[in-house]
């Protein structure tokens, strides 16, 4: 049992007070931070521009709450636009919601070919076709010819529309695309190994406004499906032995990247169960799509960066990240 436990209302008050302090301090201006309270220990998770800034933020919180032990998990970003000046790194190109239809021949061919020499791997986050037809997948496969880097994909809800998802996956695999559903793939990128665990994921909503496996069989089946996919994703991440781990999903694990979508459809855009699986399984980055009108950046409760790479949101053929290892702090 945690010593001196505080109730949920008090926790919420403290978390909001900390976030306001970090956001309004002119020497900090930190907006994206997760706060976790366990007894008299307080964890700060998130990305800051430098190690020094993270230390200043932790000191500010310590001054605000002198009776708490502050565990500082604020670290510089593992994702940057530029190549790190030293040390190993992986260049990740990612895109989702390509929506190839029967008129899409050549739509992204030149963009894909332009990745040669610019990226180490390409991740595709589902909705690769528009109506789930094998003929649409064949056009995408043709556009991927000549891409000389590993390609890893998951399918999305559009790829299931015509109940021919197995054919779509087969066509893409014939084009040397690793299509994942509950599996993983390990890729060596120069000095680093990167493991990708993939699943389409599913809906259900987020804490405070989520569905539960209660009532009609249809509702139970809906939630049980998400639970099963999340559990498999967690185990796949746990089993991965790699320098860097990426969770590749279609549905969002967090509400952050859905901001801008109608609140009424949040339960159909993702599930907090995916975030729980990612935090428990361990990952360095999450890539997803599905939310055309959401936001690019988010974070799981334990601080894993989440990126929405849906093309209608990005308004460019792909996002390009540099993923670099960082020292991970052990929690005692």
Confidence class for position 3, pLDDT limits 50, 70, 90: very low
* pLDDT per residue as tens digits for the range 249-273: 999 999 999 999 999 999 999 999 9
Q: Give the residues across from 227 on adjacent strands.
A: none
Cα separations (Å) of 285 from 15, 274, 330? 24, 13, 18
Measured CA to CA, the distance from residue 234 to residue 247 in angstroms comes to: 9
Q: Domain 80-323 is of which CATH architecture?
A: 4-Layer Sandwich (3.60)
Portions of the chain given CATH number 3.60.21.10: 80-323
Domain 8-76 fold is Alpha-Beta Plaits (3.30.70)
Using DSSP, state whether 10 is helix, strand or coil.
helix
| Whole-number Å distance between alpha carbons of 107 and 5 | 57
Confidence of residue 296 (pLDDT cuts 50, 70, 90): very high
**Phi and psi (nearest 5°) for 297?**
-110, 140
Give ranges for CATH 3.30.70.1350 in the chain: 8-76
pLDDT score recorded for residue 5: 57
Q: Are 226 and 202 in contact (CB under 8 A)?
A: yes
Per-residue pLDDT tens digits for 186-201: 999 888 999 999 999 9
Q: How far is CA 261 from the centre of its chain?
A: 17
Residues 6 or more apart in contact with residue 221 via CB below 8 angstroms? none
Give the Cα separation of 255 and 247 in Å (integer): 16
pLDDT confidence of residue 45: 76
Token couple for 239: 């089993």
């Amino acid at each position: 049992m945690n010593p001196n436990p505080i109730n949920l209302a008090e926790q919420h008050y403290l978390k909001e007070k900390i976030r306001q302090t970090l956001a309004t301090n002119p020497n900090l201006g930190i907006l994206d931070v997760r706060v976790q309270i366990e007894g008299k220990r307080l964890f700060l998770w998130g990305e800051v521009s430098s190690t020094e800034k993270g230390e200043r933020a932790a000191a500010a919180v310590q001054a605000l709450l002198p009776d708490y032990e502050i565990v500082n998990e604020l670290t510089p970003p593992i994702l940057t636009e530029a190549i790190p000046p030293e040390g190993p790194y992986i260049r990740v190109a990612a895109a989702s919601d390509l929506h190839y239809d029967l008129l899409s021949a050549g739509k992204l061919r030149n963009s894909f070919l332009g990745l040669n020499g610019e990226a180490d791997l390409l991740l595709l986050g589902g909705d690769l076709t528009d109506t789930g037809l094998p003929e649409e997948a064949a056009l995408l496969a043709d556009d991927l010819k000549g891409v000389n880097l590993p390609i890893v994909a998951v399918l999305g809800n559009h790829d299931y529309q015509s109940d021919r998802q197995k054919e779509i996956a087969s066509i893409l695999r014939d084009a040397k695309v690793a299509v994942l559903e509950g599996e993983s793939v390990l890729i060596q990128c120069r000095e680093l190994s990167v493991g990708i665990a993939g699943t389409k994921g599913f809906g259900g909503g987020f804490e405070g406004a989520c569905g539960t496996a209660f009532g009609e069989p249809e509702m139970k089946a809906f939630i049980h499906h998400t639970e099963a996919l999340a559990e498999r994703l967690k185990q796949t991440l746990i089993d991965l032995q790699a320098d860097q781990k990426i969770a590749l999903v279609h549905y969002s694990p967090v509400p952050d990247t859905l901001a801008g979508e109608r609140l009424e459809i949040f339960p159909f855009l993702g599930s907090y169960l995916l975030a729980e699986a990612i935090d428990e399984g361990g990952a360095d980055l999450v890539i997803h799509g599905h939310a055309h009108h959401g936001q690019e950046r988010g974070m799981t409760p334990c601080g894993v960066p989440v990126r929405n790479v849906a093309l209608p949101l990005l308004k460019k053929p792909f996002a390009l990240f540099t993923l670099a290892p960082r020292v991970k702090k052990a929690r005692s």
